[in-house]
Amino acid sequence: MKEVKEWLQSLLFSLLVVGFLMIFIQPTLVKGDSMFPTIQENNYLVIEKVSYWFKAPAYGDVIVFKSHLPENAFRNKDLIKRIIGLPGDRIGIHDGVVSRNGAVLEEPYTAEPYTAGDLEVTVPADSVFILGDNRAVSRDSRDPAVGFVPLDSIRGRILIRLFPFNRIGLVQ
């Protein structure tokens, strides 16, 4: 009887620890290559869900958010993209170049130096403008089906890559 009680206590403790951790972090497996070369298909990542409780998102953060794109009949897709514009920013894309508030962005993380599109938008309050690093294949804020991402749709920030093992580390 004592062994069963100890086993149940260990199980309960383990479940509490896992539940507590899941409040703060969440693992995810990448499907698709819209963030190549920063993140590749089948990378196993850890989403950190706490920092945005205390601070606003920042330029360059790689985030996971709930989109309006259907994954299946029951839920919408989570997407991973990079924050390019914050509330009130003026984002322009002209002749393959991205600018924020009139300044051309240096984007060493992109797969190619050219960004398709021709737009000039102001990011609404409580939203961000996002782009994938692989602009040729990314569905991001340039696509009306994705558009601006409301801050309350952000699930968290990509923190660490756990797989492949030769690329373990912080994602930037």
Residue 42 has what pLDDT? 93
Domain CATH code at residue 90: 2.10.109.10
34 catalytic residue (yes or no): yes
State yes or no: pLDDT of 1 exceeds 80: no
Q: Is residue 53 part of a domain?
A: yes
- Residue 21 located in a structural domain: no
Does residue 89 sit within a domain? yes
Active-site choice (34, 67, 141, 153): 34
Q: Which of 5-14, 74-83, 99-108 reaches the highest mean pLDDT?
A: 99-108
In a domain, residue 144? The reply is yes
In a domain, 3, yes or no: no
Catalytic residue among 49, 67, 81, 153: 81
Is residue 22 a part of any domain in this protein?
no
Q: Is residue 64 part of a domain?
A: yes
Neighbours of 111 (CB within 10 A): 18
Whether 81 is catalytic: yes
Q: What is the pLDDT of residues 108-149, one digit of tens each?
A: 999 999 999 999 999 999 999 999 999 999 999 999 999 999
127-131 vs 76-85, strand pairing mode: antiparallel
Task: Show the tokens assigned to 76.
Answer: 């919408």
Q: Which range marks the domain in which residue 102 is found?
A: 27-170
Joined together, the tokens standing for residue 49 give 């869900």
pLDDT band (50, 70, 90) for residue 84:
very high
Instruction: Spell out the alpha helix ranges (H) of 25-170.
Output: 51-54
For residues 61 and 80, the answer to whether their CB atoms sit within 8 Å is no
In a domain? residue 10: no
Q: Is 159 exposed, middle or buried (0-12, 13-18, 19+ CB in 10 A)?
A: middle
Tally of domains within the chain: 1
The residue with tokens 């801050």 is 151
DSSP 96: T
- 78 residue type, one letter: D
Sorting pLDDT into bands at 50, 70 and 90, what band is 2? confident
